[in-house]
């Protein structure tokens, strides 16, 4: 159990750092989504299924969609 | 110069957080109210899910504030986007048959799942906000998969306003009839752990779910159509 949780936290950290450093903003959005998804799994492990549901549906689906629509309107690559 | 200022600011914030964290006594029950909710919440409100009894019943006024914040955000987005002209008719390639059929098949199922989550908010984990977000993601799927469908904006706004009204009217009835505070539980509790129980909690959660779902669907509609 503790191994799974620590692996998930490490993945989450990697995703968060790469979301900051990606030059292609679409990749950055997908990495930020991964942070939310792993956070929702961690919430589930911490026995908070309410929060996990909200995090998965809002953080991983709706926020990503809104960011991708915004990227379509503006530029895709960071200078 | 800017870098130095930002480093100093970061250091101040860091020291502040560390100092506050040192003062918090972890693992000690300082307040009695949390234990009271766990012990008595079930029989006082009739909701099996303690989170729901706190969110809707004990802290119902806060929930009204949250719903209002979401409403203001949706209205602000609509006001900002209303300045953009619709960029003519962009050519949209129709999706493949498999994708369209899949979207049409999945859309009612996702709606049903969202409705299940907010109707059973007092029995199982989840509630109005989660169910509303799931319903909005169903609308997002339709927008991405088969763009031919036209979103009924008037119906969406009507649903949103009506459910907001239901929330406030139930709260005011509770203020006058039941107790001496907003959103007091004036209806019969019923038998615990069944669908028709917990008084006004399911009604309030259905109203919140419809409101959040229609608001987020309206946000997605605004973004997809006007940008």
Predicted confidence band at B88 (pLDDT cuts at 50, 70, 90)?
A: low
Q: Can you tell me whether residue A24 is helix, strand or coil? A: strand
- Residue B39 has what pLDDT? 84
Structure tokens at B87: 């960029």
The answer, for B117 touching chain A at a CB cutoff of 8 Å, is yes
- B182-186 mean pLDDT: 75
B178 versus B72: the higher-pLDDT residue is B72
Q: How far apart are CA B226 and CA A61, in angstroms?
A: 20
pLDDT in tens, B18-29: 999 888 877 777
DSSP letters along chain B, please? -HHHHHHHHHHHHHHHHHHHHHHS-TT----SHHHHHHHHHHHHH--S-HHHIIIIIITHHHHHHHHHHHHHHHHHHHHHHTTSPP-S----PPPPHHHHHHHHHHHHHHHHHHHHHHHTTTTSS--HHHHHHHHHHHHHHHHHH-TT----HHHHHHHHHHHHHHHHHHHHHIIIII-SSTT---S---STTSSS-STTHHHHHHHHHHHHHHHHHHHHHHHHHH-
Residue that the structure tokens 């986007």 belong to:
B81
Every domain of chain A and the residues it spans: 2-73
The answer, for B73 touching chain A at a CB cutoff of 8 Å, is no
Q: CB distance A54–B216 less than 8 Å?
A: no
- Residue B87 has what pLDDT? 60
Beta bridge partners of A77: A24
Maximum Cα–Cα distance across chain B: 67
Query: Which residues of chain B neighbour A53 with C-beta distances below 8 Å?
Result: 117, 125-126, 130
What share of chain B in percent tops pLDDT 70?
Answer: 94
- What spatial distance separates the first Cα and last Cα of chain B, rounded to whole Å? 38
Specify whether the CB–CB gap between B145 and B100 falls below 8 A.
yes
What share of chain B in percent tops pLDDT 90?
Answer: 14
A7 pLDDT more than 80? yes
Predicted confidence band at B91 (pLDDT cuts at 50, 70, 90)?
A: low
Q: CB distance B117–A53 less than 8 Å?
A: yes
- A37-42 mean pLDDT: 92
Q: Tell me the pLDDT of chain B averaged across its residues.
A: 84
B6 pLDDT more than 90? yes
- B36-65 mean pLDDT: 83
Identify the top-confidence range among A31-40, B89-98, B152-161, B185-194: A31-40
Query: Which residues of chain A neighbour B125 with C-beta distances below 8 Å?
Result: 49-50, 53
pLDDT in tens, B148-180: 666 788 888 898 889 989 888 888 888 888 777
- A50-60 mean pLDDT: 88
Interface of A with B (CB under 8 A): 49-50, 53-54, 57-58, 61-62, 65-66, 69-70, 72-73
Predicted confidence band at A42 (pLDDT cuts at 50, 70, 90)?
A: very high
* CA B198 to each of CA B49, B55, B75: distance values in angstroms, whole numbers, following the listed order: 10, 13, 33
Q: How far apart are CA A72 and CA B9, in angstroms?
A: 34
B8 versus B184: the higher-pLDDT residue is B8
Specify whether the CB–CB gap between A66 and A58 falls below 8 A.
no
Query: Which residues of chain A neighbour B51 with C-beta distances below 8 Å?
Result: 50
pLDDT in tens, B128-148: 888 999 998 888 888 888 766
Specify whether the CB–CB gap between A58 and B133 falls below 8 A.
yes
- Residue B124 has what pLDDT? 86
Closest CA to B184 of B195, B196, B172: B172
B219 pLDDT more than 70? yes
- B58-86 mean pLDDT: 85
Q: Is the ipTM of this complex over 0.90?
A: no
Q: How far apart are CA B107 and CA B116, in angstroms?
A: 14
Q: CB distance B125–A66 less than 8 Å?
A: no
Buried b (16+ CB within 10 A) or exposed e, B64-102: beebeebbeebeebeeeeeeeeeeeeeeeeebeeeebee
- Residue B90 has what pLDDT? 62
Name the phi and psi angles at A63, rounded to 5. Answer: -65, -40
Q: CB distance B130–A53 less than 8 Å?
A: yes
CA distance A70 to chain B (A): 8
């Amino acid at each position: 159990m503790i191994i799974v949780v620590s692996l998930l936290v490490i993945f989450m950290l990697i995703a968060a750092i790469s979301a900051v450093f990606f030059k292609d903003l679409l990749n950055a959005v997908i990495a930020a989504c991964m942070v939310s998804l792993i956070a929702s799994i961690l919430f589930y492990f911490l026995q908070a299924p309410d929060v996990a549901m909200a995090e998965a549906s809002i953080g991983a689906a709706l926020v990503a969609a809104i960011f991708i629509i915004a990227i379509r309107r503006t530029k895709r690559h960071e200078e | 110069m800017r870098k130095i200022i930002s480093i100093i600011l970061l250091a101040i914030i860091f020291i502040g957080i560390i100092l506050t964290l040192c003062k918090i006594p972890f693992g000690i029950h300082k307040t009695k109210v949390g234990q009271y909710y766990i012990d008595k919440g079930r029989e006082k409100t009739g909701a099996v899910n303690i989170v729901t009894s706190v969110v809707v019943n004990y802290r119902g006024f806060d929930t009204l504030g949250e719903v209002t914040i979401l409403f203001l955000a949706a209205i602000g987005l609509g006001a900002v986007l209303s300045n953009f002209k619709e960029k003519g008719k962009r050519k949209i390639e129709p999706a493949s048959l498999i994708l369209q059929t899949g979207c049409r098949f999945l859309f009612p199922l996702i709606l049903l799942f969202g409705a299940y989550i907010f109707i059973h908010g007092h029995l199982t984990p989840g509630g109005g906000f989660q169910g509303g977000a799931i319903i909005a993601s169903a609308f997002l799927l339709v927008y991405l998969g088969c763009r031919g469908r036209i979103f009924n904006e008037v119906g969406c706004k009507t649903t949103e306003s009506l459910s907001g009204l239901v929330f406030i009217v139930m709260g005011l009835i509770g203020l006058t009839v039941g107790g001496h505070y907003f959103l007091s539980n004036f209806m019969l509790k019923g038998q615990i752990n069944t669908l028709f129980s917990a008084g006004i909690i399911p009604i309030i959660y259905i109203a919140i779910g419809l409101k959040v779902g229609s608001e987020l669907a309206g946000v997605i509609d605004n973004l997809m159509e006007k940008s």
